[in-house]
Structures are given as structure tokens and as C-alpha cells.
Structure 1
Amino acid sequence: MILTVTPNPSLDRTYELPALTRGAVLRATADRVDPGGKGINVSRAVAAAGHRTVAIAPLGGPEGALLARLLGEHGIEAAGVPIAGSTRINVTLVEPDGTLTKVNAAGPEITAEEAEGLLDAVRARSAATDWIACCGSLPRGLPPEWYAELVARSHRAGARIALDTSGAALVAALRERPDVIKPNAEELAEAVGRPLATVGEAVKAAEELRARGARCVLASLGADGQLLVDGSGAHFGRARVDAVRSNVGAGDASLAGFLAAGGTGPAALAAAVAHGAAAVQLPGSVMPTPADLDLSSVTTTTDIPMDRALTEPAP
């Protein structure tokens, strides 16, 4: 079973538009609402693959109640921690060429009592889990060290931790040696404090984060592929993508595929790449099912193209 922790969940509303014109009244050609937040997206992808998952998240107001109901419709057990504030709503605008414009709300402020309630919810369920995936930004009220405390407590309970966050929260958690971290290229660059322009520079940044505490780094490089850097060395994976429809949640789908495939080694990397490639070809933040995956299009290698320029260099 994979347990996910999402400290700042959301309802994600996606509108597909014929064009995005500032100051105009726009009519959507399609729209949908999905349960959102990085950890919840991981749970959705795990459930879509037929595995059991429980999603822990602070839920408040009618938005939180709708989020819990939507999770149930996806076959996900929602372990909601009641909060006084209301769950946020994020909006994504999608243009025909795949360009996304996102408006993410800040979300509610979490009190010290509510934060402790989240940690207690994780502790109560950690013994029965294969992995705990702690994902996303921290809401107002939680200090950058909150994830570090969560990793430390979970390790004491014998659980394995996958962490997908950024900035000060990621840096603070490294000292507690998370089993997997999953940055993208921009988050890698931020963590090491220098720009990344090539695949080789991303590999070196991942190796530096391992030296600072991470046991394994699964790094998304966008259209250029994914890196896995662990104690056995570095592996590089890519997949064919015919057309990008939406990249919302693609990194979360990748992490779900990686953990569901065991969370270690080239086979898990291949699963991560396949899930990410499938997700970008689906609308909104729809998570792929096994029928959407094409493992035959995935290649993994230890012969990493170190000099290859990143399609989107990380500042």
C-alpha cells in the first residue's frame, strides 16, 4: 500500500480554450474538475494502476468535502484531517497548442494543532505501508522543517519515504535522509544553487544531493527524459511522446509509477518514464491507467548523454 501526504491539496479546475485573450470573455470548449495536489495526484495514479492507496490531507469547507468525495470516486481512501480553513481551488487554462496557464491559490493557513494532526495521521497508518509519498508545497503555517520532521518520524516507524518538494523544505529534509527525492530540473538547480544547462550538469546536481543526504534521486528533465541516481550509479530514461496535451501532474504520475514498480532500479525508472509519457498525452490532470502505458517506447541506459543540452535549461 502507498500512503500519500499532501499538506496543501486543491480542487483543480481545467478549462480548454480555443485561444487565450487577455481582457476578453472566453468560452471553454471543455472543462473538468479533479482532486489535486501533488500527493493526491500520486494516489490517483496508484489507484488507476490498480493498487491500494490512502491519501492524507488537511480538508476544510465545502471544497474539502467535494475533494474527499472525488477521491472516493477514484477508489482512494481519503484520510482527511479537519481544518478551520477552506481547501484551495486552482485553475488551469489550456490552449490548443498545449500551452498551459495556471493560477494556483495560496491555500489556508494551518494551525500548530492541525499540523500535529497531520503527523499523527501519518504515524497511525505508517506501519502498513510500502511507501509514504510526501508531496507538494507547504501551506502557510507550516515551517520549512515540517517535512524533515515527517521524514524522521516515519523512518523511526520503519517506513520508506519518497519526497517531492522544493526550496527550503527540500533542503531541510535532506539531513533526515529521505529514501527518494523527485525534483525537476528547476528544483535541482535551486537546491544546488547554480544553473543547469546539460544532462551531465543535472547528473552532477543529483549526485550532490545524494552526498547531502538523499539516498536516491529521481529527476524529471521534461521533454529530455528522467534521471535515476542512486548507490549503483546513474541511469537515464526516455520515451516517445506523439503529442503533448497537458503536463499537469505528469511528474506525480512518474513518481507513482516508480513507487508502484518497487521504487528502485532501472525497471522502476522505466515505469516512471512510461507513466510520465502517458500522462502528458491525457487531458487536464488525468492519471494514466495500465492501458495508457507504452513500455515498448521506453529506453533506459547507463550510457548517459552528458553533453546533451537541456531543451529547457534550468536557471
Structure 2
Amino acid sequence: MILTVTPNPSLDRTYEVPGLRRGAVLRAAGDRVEPGGKGVNVSRAVAAAGVRTAAVLPLGGPEGALLARLLGEQGIEAVGVPLAGSTRVNVTLVEPDGTLTKVNAAGPELTAPEAGALLEAVRSRSAGADWIACCGSLPRGVTPAWYAELVARAHRAGTRIALDTSGAALLAALAARPEVVKPNAEELAGAVGRPLATVGDAVKAAEELRARGAATVLASLGADGQILVSEAGTYWGHARVAAVRSNVGAGDASLAGFLAEGGNGPAALAAAVAHGAAAVGLPGSAMPVPADLDLAAVVTTADVPLDRPLGDALTGPLP
């Protein structure tokens, strides 16, 4: 069983528009509403793979009630912590060429008792969990040390942690020694404080995160594949994608595939790559089902192409 934790979940509304023009009235060709947030997406992909999962998350207002209902319809138990505020709503505009424009709401501010109740909900629901996947940004009112405290508590209970966050929250949690961290290329660059120009640079950055406490680093490099760096070795995986429809949630799908396949070694990396490649071919933040996966198209190797340049967006100055 994989338990997910999403401190700042959302309802994700996606509109397919013919083009994005400032000041114009846009008529959507299609629209959808889905449960959102990185940990929520992991639960959705895990459930689609036939693995049992539950999602711990704060819920408030009618938006929170709808989010819980949508999760239940997908076979996911929502372990909700009541909030005084309302669950946020994010909006994505998708153009025909695949260009995405996202408007992410800040979300409600959690009080100290609400943040503590979220930790307690994780503790009470973690019995029997093979993994706890802690994912996404922290809401307002919650300090960067919150994830570190969650990792420490999980370890005291004998549960493994996979962490997908960034910035100060990631750096603070490394000292608690999570079993897996899953940054994307930009987050990896931010964690080490320098731009990454090649796959080799990404490998060195992942090794630095391991030196700071992470046992395993699974890093998504976008079109340049994924790397897995652990005590057992370093591997690179990639798959060709015919067309990108939406990259929203692709990293979350990758983490779900990795954990569902055991969370260790080349086979888990191949599952991560297959899930991520399938997700980018789906609309909005839809998560892949087994029929969407093409493991035959995935290549994993210990012969990592260290000199392979990363995308231009990763070689410039850090924001």
C-alpha cells in the first residue's frame, strides 16, 4: 500500500483553447476538472496501476468536498484533515500545439493546529504502508521543517519515505535521510545552487543530494530522460514520445510507477520512464492506466551519457 501526503492539494480545471490572446474572450473546445496536487496525482496513478493507495490531505469548503468525492470515484481513500479555509482551484489553458498556460492559486493558510493534525493523520493511517510519498509545495503557514519532521516520524514507525518537493523544504528534509527524493532538473539545479548543462552535471548534483542524506535520487530531466542514482549504481532511462499533449503531472506519474515497481533498481526506473512518457501523451493532468504504458519503448542503461546536453532552459542563470 502506498500512502500519499499532499499538504497543498487542488482542484485542477483544464480548458482546451484554440489560442491564447490577451484581452480576448476564449471559447474552450473542451474542459475537465480533476483532483490535483502532486501527491494526489501519485495516488491516482498508483490506483490506476491496481495498487492500493490512500491520500492524506487538508480539505476545506465545497472545493475540498468535491476533491474528496472525485478521489473516491477513482477508488482512492481520501484521509481529509478539515480546514477553516477552502481548497485551492488551479486553472490550465492548453493550446492545440501543446503549449500550457497555468494559473496556480496560493491555497489556504494552515494554522499550527491544522498542520499538526495533518502530521497526526499521516501517523494514524501509515500502518501497513510500504511507502509514504510526500509531495508538493508546503501551504502558507507551514515551515520548511514540516517535511523533515514527517520523515523523522515515519522512520520511527519503520516506514519508507519518497519525497518530491523543492527549495528550502527539500534541503531541510535531506538531513532526515529520506529513502528517495524525486526532483526535476530545475529543482535539482536549485538544490545545488548552480545551472546544469549536461546529464553528467545532473548526476553530480544527484550525488551531492545523496551526500546530504538522500539514499536514492530519481531525477526527471524532461525530454532528456531520467536518472537514478543510489548506492547500487547510476542508471539512465529514456523513451521516445510521439507527441506531447500535456506535461502536467508527468513527474508524479513517474514517481508512482517507480514506487509501484518497488522503488529500487533499473526495473523501477523503467516503470518510472514508461509512466512519465505515457502521461505526457494524455490531456490535462490525466494519469496513465496500464494500457497506456509501452515498456518496450523504454531503454535503461548503466552506460549513462554524461556529455549529453540538457535542454537550453536548464543551462542559463538560475531564477
Whether these two folds match at TM > 0.5 is yes
Q: Does 1:273 align with 2:244?
A: no
How many Å apart are 1:127 and its aligned residue? Answer: 2.1
Which residue in the other structure is 2:243 paired with?
A: 243
Q: What residue in structure 1 maps to residue 132 of structure 2? A: 132
Match of 1:160 in 2: 160
Per-residue deviation, residues 159-197 of structure 1 (Å, max 9, x unmatched): 000000000000000000000000000000000000001
Whether 1:293 and 2:296 are equivalent positions in the alignment is no
Q: Which aligned pairs between 1:4-15 and structure 2 lie closer than 5 A?
A: 4-15=4-15
Q: Percent of aligned positions with the same letter in both sequences?
A: 80
> Corresponding residue for 2:142?
142
Query: What is the distance in 1 between the residues matched to 2:155 and 2:141?
Result: 24
Take 2:104 and 2:312, find their aligned partners in 1: how far apart are those partners?
22
Show CA shifts across 1:85-106 (max 9, x none): 0000000000111110000000
Q: Aligned letter for 2:266?
A: P
Deviation of the 1:313 alpha carbon: 4.0
Matching of residue 191 in structure 1 with residue 191 in structure 2:
yes
CA contact 1:198–1:313 (8 Å) conserved in 2: no
Q: Could you say which residue in structure 1 is the equivalent of 2:43?
A: 43
**Correspondence for 2:262:** 262
Root-mean-square deviation (CA, aligned residues, Å) is 0.6
Distance 1:95 1:223 in 2: 20
Q: 1:98-127: per-residue Cα shift (whole Å, max 9, x none)?
A: 110000000000011011111111111222
Paired position in structure 1 for 2:18: 18
What is the TM-score with the length of structure 1 in the denominator? 0.99
What are the superposed Cα offsets for residues 45-104 of structure 1, whole Å, 9 maximum, x if unpaired?
Answer: 001111110000000000000000000011100000001000000000001111100000
Q: 1:233 to 1:241 in 2, by over 3 A?
A: same
Deviations 1:135-180 (A, max 9, x none): 0000001000000000000000000000000000000000000000
Matched residue SS, 1:309: coil
Deviations 1:210-232 (A, max 9, x none): 00000000000001100000001
Write the distance in 2 (CA, Å) between the matches of 1:128 and 1:216: 22
1:123 aligns with 2:123: yes
Using structure 2 for the length normalisation, give the TM-score: 0.98
Structure 2 residues without counterparts, runs of 5 or longer: none
SS at match of 1:23: coil
Contact 1:127/1:158 (CA < 8 Å) preserved in 2?
no
Conservation of the 8 A alpha-carbon contact between 1:235 and 1:300: yes
Letter in 1 for 2:277: A
How many positions carry a matched residue from both structures?
315
Instruction: Give yes or no for the alignment of 1:87 onto 2:78.
Output: no
The runs of 5 or more residues in structure 1 that have no matched partner are none
